[in-house]
Structure 1
Amino acid sequence: MPARADGQRRPLGFILTGGEASDYSAIPDLLTIPVWKPRLFLADKGYDSDILREELLTHGIRPVIPPKANRKNPPACDFRAYKDRNLIERMFNRLKQFRRVATRYDKTRQSFSAFLALAAAKIWLPYFVERV
């Protein structure tokens, strides 16, 4: 399940993929989620490909993806910016605190997607409520 997150570990959107499908195929849909345009695309080595890098650069998004070990001419990676990928992993951890998300109890795509939206709303809620 690829997701977009902001710099505060809050989810912005999700694209559900099948269990046997690669998350790599969901990237174009992920970039069309109607929230502000990202400046950086933080991903792990599994997303390292020249085609993806070119696609991101044409949209004005800087890819921050470490190169795979078997690359002949590895592209540069900003490892200082890559450290922020930790925030994305924390966002997934917060979502998986909801047992229903972590274990995928829902049988249908629609009900799982709906509960995922509820979990994301619960994560966002404290930012809209005035704290005393």
Structure 2
Amino acid sequence: MRPGHVIGDKGCNSKAIRTWLRRRGVTHTIAERSDQVGNRARLGSRGSRPPVFDRQVYRHRNVVERCFDRLKQWRGIATRYDWTAQSYQAAVALASLLM
């Protein structure tokens, strides 16, 4: 199953990743690094167009990041003490329900 939309931080911002997503028909909202903005401005008319960026969609990424941060408060989940994927998934589900 493919995601319909990917929201990524500045670390995921590369031409290769954007092209890979585009070829698979996945839309994306990825923040642009400041050095890329500067390079494009320095190139002037020879520089490429800036990628489409929707601030409203990008704000939803914060909800997911906070959820991961809260899950990492559980020592068993953060260090992955469980031997099997099934027990780890159960621990994540239990911690999510308790939150």
Scaled by the length of structure 1, the TM-score of the pair is: 0.54
> Do the aligned residues in 2 keep the contact of 1:101 with 1:115 (CA within 8 Å)?
no
Matched residue pairs, number? 87
1:70 to 35, 58, 73: 35
Cα distance in 2 for partners of 1:70, 1:112 equals 42
Partner of 1:41: 6
Which residue does the alignment assign to 1:117? 89
| Higher-helix-fraction structure | 2
Q: 1:50 aligns with which of 15, 27, 46?
A: 15
Determine the structure 2 residue equivalent to 1:83. 59
CA distance in 1, matches of 2:15, 2:84: 33
Cα pair 2:74 2:95 within 8 Å, conserved: no
Gaps of at least 5 residues in structure 2 are 41-49
Instruction: Describe the superposition over 1:19-74 as per-residue Cα deviations: whole angstroms up to 9, x where unpaired.
Output: xxxxxxxxxxxxxxxxx432211111011001100111111111211111111234
112-121 vs 65-74, which moves further: 112-121
CA RMSD in angstroms comes to 2.6
1:92 correspondence with 2:92: no
After superposition, the Cα gap between the structure-2 partners of 1:101 and 1:120, relative to the gap in structure 1 and judged at 3 Å, is: closer
SS of residue matched to 2:67:
helix
- SS of residue paired to 2:89: helix
Structure 2 Cα separation of the partners of residues 53 and 38 of structure 1: 14
Contact 1:43 1:65 survives alignment (8 Å): yes
CA distance in 2, matches of 1:112, 1:43: 29
- Alpha-carbon distance in structure 2 between the residues aligned to 1:105 and 1:50: 33
- Asked which structure has the greater CA Rg, the reply is 2
Give the Å deviation of 1:97: 3.0
